[in-house]
Amino acid sequence: MVKRFREPIYVTRPVLPDIDSVNDAIGKVWVSKWLTNGGLQHKELEKQLQNYLNVDHISLFNNGTLALVLGIKALELTGEVITTPFTFPATVQALDWNHLNPVFCDINPKTLNIDADKIEALITDKTSAILGVHVFGNPCEVGKIQQIADKYNLKVIYDGAHAFGTKIKGKPIGSFGDMTMFSFHATKLFNTVEGGALTFHDEEIGEKLALLKNFGLVSSESVVLSGLNAKMNEVQAAIGLEVLKLVDQERVRRDKVRETYEKNLADIPGIRIITGLKNKSSSYQYFVIEIDASKYGRTRDWIHKELEKYNVYTRRYFYPLCSDFHWYKHLDSAQPENLPQAQKSVQQVLSLPYYGDLELESVEGICRILREMHTSAPFLIPIKD
């Protein structure tokens, strides 16, 4: 019998630099008296991230949501955008803020990304773009998606909030499509406390983004378009520079956590690991499993609640589906019968605790709990939550 953990084990913990190094970094900002508007820290972080992500161009923002909102605005999209219902609300909310109508496409049962084979049937004369999400850092089928986009002259945007540092056959994930958004929220592998970025190919888009995230100002007396205040400030950038120094080490530590989970979960019936990538193919952002209640003997929701009794906190990520939001209920593409795989997966997916500081003994303990829950299931038949 596994005992309750003395201290809570949370689903994630932020990568935090030594406080002395943070104080030194912020001290430089204080000395400069330059707190925002593209100061030295901002410029240096932009340079280092462009190199780390190996992309043509990058623009920093104060959070990933505004990066996506303004990136979509910069592309001047209209009408409909085909996207996934299985994502964080910010993905589709960015469409809302640009007065665009989402068209929900079902997901791939293996990766839980938008199903590239089902996109073309959803294209109409109102479609202007495809918005894919690299769910849990699993890359979308970028080749198929680009072929469809080229055929119908559509833009391609990727939500890469979970995919920092991921590569596809050696090619950086931020180089696909017209634009990729990265989130630098505190929960992400790389963070600036809050923050985000867009990577892109077209230099003219960068010029437009610079205006859009700074009120549309060309100068203090000239406003050329309607923008917002979405700039990353110098404190965020300074912290980001310190965090970036730790990312590669954090990836190594998380890889050991991943190996421990995979080893201990491998033979438990009804558990499938969603995030099985490693090395440069993986962002090491989350460790996510799928629970097949008919084989495991318990439902995902029961496990989620039961683990809390052991002081282990997981997340039903993503739940609910974006297509289930009440303001999308009227859409044909949001109807449950049109999204069978998404409706199934949203009831099965569970994000387990995953971060570099997580002790391997704790990982083994979590796996023992999951094993005991399976063996104690009544006749291995799912119970009602």
pLDDT band at 380 (very low <50, low <70, confident <90, very high): very low
pLDDT, one tens digit per residue, over 306-349 is 999 999 999 999 999 999 999 999 999 999 999 999 999 999 99
Q: 361: how many CB neighbours lie within 10 A of its CB?
A: 9
Fold of 19-244: Aspartate Aminotransferase; domain 2 (3.40.640)
Q: Which of 168, 226, 177, 229 is nearest to 200 (CA)?
A: 177
Place of tokens 């799912």: 382
Residues 6+ apart with CB under 8 A from 26: 235, 238, 239
CB-based contact 216:224 (threshold 8 Å): yes
**Phi-psi group of 284: left, alpha or beta (phi > 0 → left; psi -120 to 50 → alpha; rest → beta):** left
Q: Which residues make Cβ contacts (< 8 Å) with residue 322, sequence separation at least 6? A: 84, 85, 86, 87, 89, 91, 92, 102, 104, 328
pTM of the model: 0.95
Residue 360, CB half-sphere, CA atoms under 13 Å: how many?
Answer: 11
Name 108's Cβ contacts closer than 8 Å, sequence gap at least 6: 114, 115, 116, 141, 341
Cα separations in angstroms, 291 against 13, 262, 299, 351, 376? 24, 15, 7, 11, 16
Q: How far apart are the first and last CA of the chain?
A: 23
Q: Which residues pair with 179 in a beta bridge?
A: 157, 200
Q: Where do the domains of the chain lie? A: 19-244, 248-380
> Is 90 exceeded by the pLDDT of residue 153?
yes
pLDDT digits (tens, 9 = 90+) for 17-35: 999 999 999 999 999 999 9
Query: What span, in angstroms and rounded, lies between the C-alpha atoms of 77 and 95?
Result: 10
Query: What average pLDDT does this structure show over 141-167?
Result: 98
pLDDT at residue 383 above 50? no
If you average pLDDT over every residue of the chain, what do you get?
96
d(CA 302, CA 340): 22
Q: What's the confidence (pLDDT) of residue 382?
A: 46
So what's the pLDDT on residue 218?
Answer: 92
Q: Which two tokens stand for residue 120?
A: 């073309």
pLDDT tens-digit profile of 77-114?
Answer: 999 999 999 999 999 999 999 999 999 999 999 999 99
User: Beta-carbon neighbour count of residue 240 at 10 Å?
Assistant: 27
Tokens of 190: 């790389």
- Residue 378 has a pLDDT of 62
H or E element in which residue 33 lies: none
pLDDT in tens, 237-268: 999 999 999 999 999 999 999 999 999 999 99
Measured torsion, CA atoms of residues 277, 280, 286, 290, in degrees rounded to the nearest 10? -10
Q: Are strands 179-183 and 171-172 parallel, antiparallel or unpaired?
A: unpaired
What confidence score (pLDDT) does residue 220 get?
85
19-244 shares its CATH topology with 248-380 = no
- Give residue 278's Cα distance to chain centre: 17
Count Cβ atoms below 10 Å from residue 135 Cβ, excluding itself. 30
Residue 70 has pLDDT above 70, yes or no: yes
Binned at pLDDT 50, 70 and 90, residue 377 comes out as low
**Percent of the chain topping pLDDT 90:** 95
Nearest to 72 by CA among 58, 93, 46, 43: 93
From the options 3.40.140.10, 3.90.1150.10, 3.20.20.70, 3.30.110.40, give the CATH code of 248-380.
3.90.1150.10
Give yes or no for residue 158 having a pLDDT over 70: yes
